[in-house]
Amino acid sequence: GKRSSKPIEGRDGFDTKCKFRFSVYWDQDSMRWYVPKEQQGCLQHAGHMREDPLNIRLNSKFLGTKEQRQNIVDAVDSEVRPASAARIFETQSGEHLDWHQVNYLKRVKGKNASLPNETPADKLIRELSSDASKSFILLFADIDVGSSLITIKTKKRKTNNALPIDEIVGDTLGNEIDNPKIFAQTLRGRRDKMRHTTSNQLLLAAAWTSDPARRLLDMFPEFMGGDDTEKTNSEDRPLYTILGQDSNNRSFPHTWCFMPSKAQWAYQWIWGTAVPALHPGSVLSRVMLINCDADPQETRAIESVVGRGKDISAVFPNAWQRWCAWHRIDRNFLRDPAYVSILATTRKSGSTRAAEIDVFTRYLWYRVKCYETQEELDFADKLMNFYLQEEDQSDHVGVLDKACRDALKQYKTKTFE
């Protein structure tokens, strides 16, 4: 802070300048100033009145003692009104709680509730078993004590909430070099987290659905699409989510699975065993299209269970497997290392050449989204092939060099033909 050498209007005497600074921004639409939600503070704040602690709302999980917070949760669980439970808490601790803080305490307590020595596998199975609206299927590895014998078992709860049933999977998943048994043998450092305490078995995979999700899929079964998400849990298991699409083109999730790995046998178990067990009846026979990214393991697993309208014994007898257009165009073309350099060079060489690249990209999306008949598709492909192979490009908006045209033709041939 810099001390003034003479009195300044609006200050008393030679006050020290406050070093505290914060940013604001003007929104033209609402015609007002806004303060960003998060900013860096200033430890050398001086000169401004501090906020009265009585006016600051504290996080309810830090109020009172642990026993007092447990008392208010027990009261709400006993059908006591939140306002009455808050008055009890205020009498015991002297702290006032709003109704939403009471509900927050209840949610946090239920989320963090765990049994002594409970493993993550135990907690997952307990939460799935305690919800009557959920149906689930589990893949276990039964390891014999004192030997290296591993038996792969599937345990599932049917839609009528019957007790779990053990089914031996055997050697039906994977191959000689990549299968559940080999995967279970590699888990020596992680077996404690994946062990189910009651059965002393290793939980390899878990898939589940709910009654509302099953009803949505039964209403709109024509389309399915699956993808995995990383870093959703402490065990580093990919969370695989299968989606459907309603009549308003809105996606909805209906099946979830914690995968052991991204091996082909894991995808094979999801699509060939878990999905049929969780969605019985005729719903799978009404699936017409299954989309995925270009992952080769996932693609081969889905191709093994679709019948394309010819194999009535397949899990999805009338479905076809297709790749996600966004992955094929954005990831495998616009951002692929094999093409990103030549595309960037072409774009920087002139706006007209950049327009040529945009036209080709638009053609790819039209190919996926707009052409409805095979005749339209064949005609568009014929025009694009002629466009790329034409040696004299003097009548084009922008002239693409031969290396760029060859790269576009290579991508089109490899991806769509």
The answer to whether residues 374 and 326 touch, using CB atoms and an 8 Å cutoff, is: no
Mean pLDDT, the chain, as a whole number? 80
Question: With 50 as the cut, is the pLDDT of residue 347 above it?
Answer: yes
Structure tokens at 30: 């609402």
Query: Tokens 């509302």 identify what position?
Result: 212
Dihedral-angle region of residue 244 (phi above 0 means left; psi in -120 to 50 means alpha; beta otherwise)? beta
Dihedral-angle region of residue 31 (phi above 0 means left; psi in -120 to 50 means alpha; beta otherwise)? left
SS3 58: coil
Question: With 90 as the cut, is the pLDDT of residue 331 above it?
Answer: no
Structure tokens at 73: 């949760």
Cα Dmax for the chain: 93
SS3 317: coil
The answer to whether residues 88 and 72 touch, using CB atoms and an 8 Å cutoff, is: yes
Lowest mean pLDDT among 102-116, 251-265, 303-317: 102-116
Report pTM: 0.65
The sign of the dihedral angle between the CA atoms of 8, 12, 15, 21 is negative
The answer to whether residues 240 and 232 touch, using CB atoms and an 8 Å cutoff, is: no
Question: With 80 as the cut, is the pLDDT of residue 108 above it?
Answer: no
The pLDDT confidence band at residue 95, using thresholds 50, 70 and 90, is confident
The answer to whether residues 302 and 216 touch, using CB atoms and an 8 Å cutoff, is: no
Cα gap 105→111, rounded to integer Å: 10
Strand 201-210 relative to strand 134-143, pairing: antiparallel
Q: How many CA atoms lie within 13 A of 313 on its CB side?
A: 0
For the chain, percent of residues with pLDDT exceeding 70: 78
Listed in order, strand segments (DSSP E) in 280-390 are: 289-292, 320-323
Question: With 60 as the cut, is the pLDDT of residue 148 above it?
Answer: no
Listed in sequence order, the residues at least 6 apart from 360 whose beta carbon sits closer than 8 Å to its beta carbon are 384, 408
Cα gap 321→291, rounded to integer Å: 6
pLDDT value at residue 285: 94
pLDDT value at residue 223: 94
**Structure confidence by residue, pLDDT tens digits, 271-286:** 999 999 999 989 999 9
For residues 113-133, give the mean pLDDT. Answer: 78
Cα gap 206→139, rounded to integer Å: 6
Cα gap 282→316, rounded to integer Å: 10
Cα gap 129→349, rounded to integer Å: 62
Apex 189 CA angle, 141 and 165, nearest 5: 15
